[in-house]
A and B are shown apart, each in its own frame.
Chain A
Amino acid sequence: PQETRAAAPARTRRGPAPVTDVAKLCVCDLLVAQCDVNCCCDPDCSAADFSLFTTCSVPIVTGDNRLCSQKAAIYSLDVEANPPERIFKLIDQVNPSIFCIHTTNYKQALSFSSPEMPTSENFDQLLKEFGSAAFSAEPDSWNMNTDAQNPADANETYRYEYGVPIQTVDAFLRLPSPVVSSWCSDANPAAFLVNQATKCTRSLSVEKCGSIQAVSMLFYINSSILAVNITVQSVVIQSLNGMQTSLNGSDVLRLPMILDELCINVVLGVSYHITYTDAGEIIEAAASFVLGAIKKEALSIQQSFEISFTQVNTKPVPLSGNPGYVVGLPVRAGFRPQGYPFPVEILFAALNTNKYGQLTILQSTSSQDCLESQGARTPILFGYNMVSGCKLRITAAMKCQLLAQTLLDLLKGQSFPEYVASFGNSQAHNVLDWVPITHLHNSEQRIYNAFQSSCQIPVSLEIAVKWTKYGSLVNPQARIVNVTATITSTILKQLPSGRERTIPITSSVVFSDISSPAEPGYKAWPTINAKLPFDFFFPFV
């Protein structure tokens, strides 16, 4: 026993010896000690079994058929005989080609090499070579590249791509979210540029409120995102009846504590705001808290978490799609400031009546009187055709020019934008991503007579938005290519005094899809890649 134990490490185990005799080789013999159906080479089958077969699944067993002459075992069923019997023949098969292998002096040429048996000496080397998802002929050069990428420097800024979890000093930035049930799980990492908002339930009681980490502010600002500390941007205290008050001094850390049978400073909501550069580095992180109090009878609280990303030096603008417009989100629009194209740092000022930079349309009110509704406007949502309007009561006393100006203001709004974003995420500094609005004027021409001095008042504004499908066939993105605003005017005939007239004023938005039919693109035809190995003329070159 002792000497075998000493001898064991020295002896390497070998795999089973390969079978090379064609008469003994049977690939269809899968069941041990049982006859496989239609397997004529199975040694477990008796003559009675053979008589029940219909065909031979393996008719011939040979070695490499590129050899000039080799032994072959041929199995067939003689169905003429009664009962059918198996015929086994061992023949010499001759390959007629002139390029058949006559002999070979390289032993491993025509058979698979036996793999190395792992021992304690070669285990590490084998693991390095075969342990990854793909075996490479040059594992060292590949390993060197990946090592150079992961030095894990806390000082170096780490560049993120979309969807990559944000790393902190110990793990990942956590955004607790419900998994399966509505209970909070702290293992959800926040991904870069993925705006998330989650709500989940956490079990809590007044006695344990000091000991549960996830309801204290410290838990959420403790881990710093590599080189960036998480600062507290604002703290809002929510009282028991739901009233929220914002605190002035947001530097002091408020930890949960028990006060008068209540547990106060319990984190009810966290909102992270991450600022990033366009190279993908995170330069700032701020957290806003909503702290609340829980009563003695409460067994659980609901927490809400949110994370949003803003690019540095830009104002956060709600996107209407990424990149193509999403149906139902507002169409973004803006102005070009004076002096373009010279100062390129000046961004587009989105100065519509709607402060979010959206294209708006007159909103119909219940009173339906144009002059009463003071500029109520509704944003134009992509893909939704809208019609709105009001009724204008014209009296004889109204001055035409003033009326025309008022109606124009009513239809277009205080500051009608000049440009519309062609994609839902168009940035203000990318000039080419914005489409200018074309203005057309239709004047209703009646009989050409000498009374052409009568002025015209605008009665309808039609905004026609032409959009196209852009991008790949499976995921087309909506892109606005043309926006035309057509004002139709009509001649206001002078009314006899005392009379009044009501004319309808309408404004409409129509979206039309002008995408051209998709053209499939074919990949290049495969080419035969035949070239000599680079060291073919070794050792002469």
Chain B
Amino acid sequence: NTSHQLSSLPLQILFYLNGIYYIFYFLATLAMIVYKSEVFSYPDDFLAPDLALLLIMAVLEVLRLYLGSKGNLTEEEAPLGLSLALTVGSVILSVYFLVWQTYVLRADVVINAVLLFTYGLESVLKVVAIAAFVS
């Protein structure tokens, strides 16, 4: 029965939009870090962790979206579960950029809030999809 499809379409759409939004988020955060380092006093030992965490977040995001998309399309719960675990890491990093960054601008607050909302929605849909695959 080909119409019985367990892959979640909303989740896939969300992955796609998340990918596009994350590219914008990464460039915007990088640009704002550059702006902050020019305008404010941003010593090197505060700049380095912020940049490092941004790059780790980018790597994590790529991995997370790939695994989640693969798991959803092949209807396997293992990659999807791994993606959910990586989402936790991404959430923590997003909270860092929202609250514990050296300088948090209002724009930072906005884009991180949007990202966290996306993560939350994704997590819910992933749990639903895993439940559908398992059963």
Which residues of A are at the interface with B, using a C-beta cutoff of 8 A? 68, 97-106, 108-109, 530, 532-533, 535-540
Contacts and interface: CB of A to CB of B under 8 A. Distances in A.
A106 B102 contact: yes
A539 B48 CA distance: 7
A102 B34 contact: no
A102 B109 contact: yes
Contacts of B109: 102
B101 to A, nearest CB: 7
27 contacts: A68-B106, A98-B105, A98-B106, A99-B32, A100-B106, A101-B40, A101-B103, A101-B104, A102-B106, A102-B108, A103-B104, A104-B102, A104-B104, A105-B100, A105-B101, A105-B102, A105-B103, A105-B104, A106-B42, A106-B46, A108-B41, A109-B41, A532-B34, A535-B44, A536-B34, A537-B51, A538-B47
Given A105-B102, A109-B41, A109-B103, A99 B55 contact: no
Given A103-B99, A106-B46, A533 B106 contact: no
A533 B40 contact: no
A162 to B, nearest CB: 44
Interface string B82-121: 0000000000000000011111111111100000000000
B134 interface: no
B112 to A, nearest CB: 10
Interface string B39-66: 0111010111001100100000000000
A101 to B, nearest CB: 6
Given A100-B105, A537-B51, 16 more contacts: A68-B106, A99-B105, A99-B106, A100-B106, A101-B104, A102-B105, A104-B103, A105-B102, A105-B103, A106-B46, A108-B41, A109-B40, A536-B34, A538-B47, A538-B48, A539-B52
Contacts of A101: 40, 103-105
A106 B103 contact: yes
B101 A99 contact: no
A25 B51 CA distance: 37
A66 to B, nearest CB: 8
Contacts of B34: 532, 536
Nearest to B109: A102
A103 B34 CA distance: 17
A535 to B, nearest CB: 7
Interface residues of B, number: 27
Contact of A99 (B35, B41, B42, B52): B35
Contacts of A68: 106
B5 interface: no
Contacts of A106: 41-42, 46, 102-103
B37 interface: yes
A55 B47 CA distance: 45
A102 B102 contact: no
Contact of B37 (A97, A102, A536, A539): A536
A530 B34 CA distance: 12
A104 B102 CA distance: 6
Contacts of B103: 101, 104-106, 109
A538 B44 CA distance: 8
B113 to A, nearest CB: 11
Contacts of B42: 106
Contacts of A540: 51, 55
A533 B46 contact: no
A532 B105 CA distance: 21
A538 B51 CA distance: 9
Contacts of A539: 48, 52
Contacts of B108: 102
A360 B82 CA distance: 105
A522 B107 CA distance: 44
Given A104-B103, A106-B103, A540-B55, A98 B41 contact: no
A98 B104 contact: no
A442 B84 CA distance: 109
A109 B106 CA distance: 17
A532 to B, nearest CB: 7
A539 B49 CA distance: 10
Contacts of A530: 38
A98 B107 contact: yes
Q: In the complex, which of the residues B41, B100, B105, B109 has the most CB atoms of chain A within 10 Å of its own CB atom? A: B105
A108 B109 CA distance: 22
Contacts of B52: 539
Contacts of B35: 99
Given A532-B34, A540-B55, A102 B44 contact: no
Contacts of B102: 104-106, 109
B107 to A, nearest CB: 5
Contacts of B110: 98
B57 to A, nearest CB: 14
Pairs A-B, 10 closest by C-beta atoms: A102-B104, A103-B104, A98-B107, A106-B102, A99-B105, A104-B103, A98-B106, A102-B106, A100-B106, A102-B109
Contacts of B55: 540
Q: In the complex, which of the residues B32, B46, B52, B104 has the most CB atoms of chain A within 10 Å of its own CB atom? A: B104
